[in-house]
Structure formats: C-alpha cells, structure tokens
Amino acid sequence: MNQLPHSNELEQSLLGVILLDGDKCYDLAINLDISIGSFYLSPHQSIFRAMQSLNAKGKGIDLRTVANELGVQLEHVGGDSYLELCLDTGVTAAHTEHYASEVRNYEIRRQAIVVAYDVIQQAERGGDAETIRAGAEFKFSEIKSMRSEELTPAEILDEQIELWKKAQTTKCVGLSTGFDFLDTYLGGLLECSHIIIAGEPGMGKTTLARNIAENIAGDQGIPVAFESLEQTYAQIWGAIAARRAKTSLFWFNSGSSKADFEAMARAKAEVQDWPIHVQDRPHTIEQCRSWTKNMVEQRGCKVVIIDYIQRLGMKGKMSQEERISRVSMNVTSMAKDFRVPVISLASLSREGNLRGSGQLDFDAWAILKLTKAESWTPENQIVNVAFLKQRFGPQCRPIELKLLGGESRFDEFWQLDQTNKGGTCQQKMQLKPKS
C-alpha cells in the first residue's frame, strides 16, 4: 500500500502547541480524541508517547521534560533541534483545536483506506456476500468519528427536566415495559441502556423479553427489533399470537382437540400488524450490528432484544471468555451508538453466574436473575426475579411473577409502592394477578 494521507506540518504544529503550553493544550488534544495513532510519522508518535508518559506521571510537558523523557530516542526523532522546529511551527496555543481536528481528519481517512483495502481483498478471495457486507459495515463502524458539538449543561438539564416532568404522568422516564416492577425499579427502558435478563433453562427469559416487546409494540405502537439466535421466526410469532389469544400453544403443537382456532384467528388479526421485527438467522456480532443499524435507521426501532448474547459469534480464533467479553463490549457500544435500549438474554453457569465472561457483569446497566421461587410447582410456576445489579436506582427486593407457560406470558402479582424506605424499594402484593 502506498503512503497514506497525512500532513507533516500539521502534526508538527500540534506537537508544537503542546510543547508551548502543555497544561492546557495536551488536555484539549486528548479531549479531541488525539492518540499516538493519530500521528502518521514515527518520530511524531514517539514524541507524543513521551508526552503521554509525562502526563501519566503528573509531570509538566515542555521542551526540556519531553527531551528528557525521550532519552536515547531523542536522536531518533531528530534531536533537540527537531523539538524546537515543532515548537516554532506551532505558533500559538489558540490554534490547538484546529490542528487537532485536522490531524484527526487525516487519521480517519487513513483508517477508512485500510478498512476498504481489507474489504476489497476479502471480496476478491470469495465467500458469502452478506457476511462480507456485514463485516465491512462493522469495520467501518469501528472507525471512531470526530466528536460533534455538544449541548451545553444548561441545554442538557432543560431536556432532562422536561423528561422528569413527563414521568410524573407516565410513571417512568424511559419507555414503559408494561411491567410495573421494571418501570418503577429501572425507570423504564432508558436510552443507551444495556439490560441483561439471565436465568436457567425453563425460567422464562425469552417469554419475559417477548412480553416486553409485545407491550411496547402492541400497546404503544413502538417498533421493536428482536434478534433470535434460538427460536425461529414462526415460533416467536406463534407465541405472540398464543399470548394474545390467552390459549395454550402446547395444544396447537400437540394437535389437541382443545386447540381454539377461533381465538387464534382473532389474535392473528390483532397482532399481524404489530411492529415487531424478527431476525432468526445465525449471527455474528458484525451481522447483529448491521441488522440493528438497519432496524433503527430504516424501521424506526426504539428497542433491541438479543436472545441470547452468549450465542453471538466473533470472527477470528479466541477463547470463549475472550469472545463473550468482546461481544459484551460491542453490544454495549451498539446501544450507545444507536441511542436505544438493548435487552440481552443470557444463560447462567452451574454456579449461578453469567456464563462466559465477567465483562457481562461490568457492561450491563441492570441484571435480572430468574429462578424458581420456593412455592414453585409444575402447576403453579412462580418465578423469583432478583436484581443482581441496578446502576441507577436503590437496592431492589426480589419480586415474584407467575409464568403461564402454555399461554406464553407472565402475570405480575405485585403492585409496587413508589415509596423508598431505608434505600430499598417497597412492594405490596395484589390480591389478584394484574392480567
């Protein structure tokens, strides 16, 4: 590959203004996403690396301290005379933002060229076209763009206060899930949040997530993206219709004479236009991100559900722990990049922990764990929901839901009291199920 775009003079100028006023200009450059990789020329990378080292040690950055930090590398970068040349090129600290923006612009152009070259080579070698396309989109999405102009604190708080005022009526600041305990404890589904619903097989993780999707899409008309790596498209829509018909899906699957086709026909008429967009093909994280981007931008989806996160693949050879760790970080970034809440389903290990990587615990905003309640029986499936993590609220007591497995739905038994006593959300039990 030929020499990539860069500007020797701009790189010199940026280093020069930092040498001129290290306390101010270094921090400004970092805030504008300048890193060692922002510099194309090796001597400039070495100089900035020395600046980074000085900053990490809490030392000032100037001509002499940088020269000392470089040590034997000083001659490699051109000696004291080259540092002085950079200092003279920088002119004034007032130009720092301009220099940094231009250097970042060149860096992004270089990254785009490298990614495009890799995609061309992959396409020439052959393979599945959709995999190549999704991989290309993922690689381009990883190129970190320059920061856009941010709102002032006053503007941000004005918007937030309006949302809080609205929550006095809606009872939650985010999207309502249709479950009181989630809307109360989490404030609804917040923008950019990553929520994990975990549990052993048979605890109804998928049912709870799907019921949330049904409540959002069916009752509120808000589009939802549902990425299923376990169930098929037909199975998911069959369960949606069965819940609406309040009839047992088992009777239909087993050919029972109890199957109520009239109720199912009425349910079909109701749910067929619900904006739930289901994808059931096997997916890598690259394909998941590509599909999610399309669902958010083209279909207007406001919520993304992944069933389940540990099944998402990553290209390249790596351990299971590393794969899940990278998947977790990418899903969390996806929520932030597309400004939507993401609900990920996850399986538990035999020890009761999230399977695969501690990164899942770290990245999640909230973690719900579903287990059998003490009163659970096959005829009365009471599921205990514990909050293992709740980033933005008080400690939450476990609550109980009733799983009606045949009808593919959860009943919420709890009427939640909005009071907060001793830092713990209080709850009261209803005499009857809500639904």
More confident residue, 139 or 299: 299
Predicted confidence at residue 396, as pLDDT, reads: 81
Predicted confidence at residue 345, as pLDDT, reads: 95
Predicted confidence at residue 39, as pLDDT, reads: 95
Q: Answer yes or no: is pLDDT of 434 > 80.
A: no
On whether the pTM is more than 0.95, the answer is no
Across 157-177, average pLDDT: 90
Give the SS3 label for residue 412. strand
Across 404-414, average pLDDT: 82
Q: Over the stretch 317-348, which tens digit does the pLDDT of each residue have?
A: 888 888 889 899 999 999 998 999 999 999 88
Q: Using alpha carbons only, what angle is made at residue 161 by residues 157 and 162, rounded to the nearest 5 degrees?
A: 120
Q: Over the stretch 339-388, which tens digit does the pLDDT of each residue have?
A: 999 999 998 876 767 777 678 888 999 999 999 999 899 889 999 999 99
Handedness of CA 125, 127, 129, 130 (dihedral sign): negative
Q: Token pair for residue 78? A: 């051109």
User: What percentage of the chain has pLDDT greater than the value 70?
Assistant: 91
Predicted confidence at residue 145, as pLDDT, reads: 65
Handedness of CA 137, 140, 144, 146 (dihedral sign): negative
Across 55-71, average pLDDT: 91
| Residue with tokens 């003490």, as numbered in its chain | 374
Q: Which domains does the chain have, with CATH numbers?
A: 1-149 (1.10.860.10), 162-429 (3.40.50.300)
Q: Answer yes or no: is pLDDT of 151 > 80.
A: no
For strand 342-347 and strand 303-307, is the pairing parallel, antiparallel, or unpaired?
parallel
Across 14-25, average pLDDT: 91
Q: Over the stretch 20-48, which tens digit does the pLDDT of each residue have?
A: 988 889 988 988 889 999 999 999 999 99
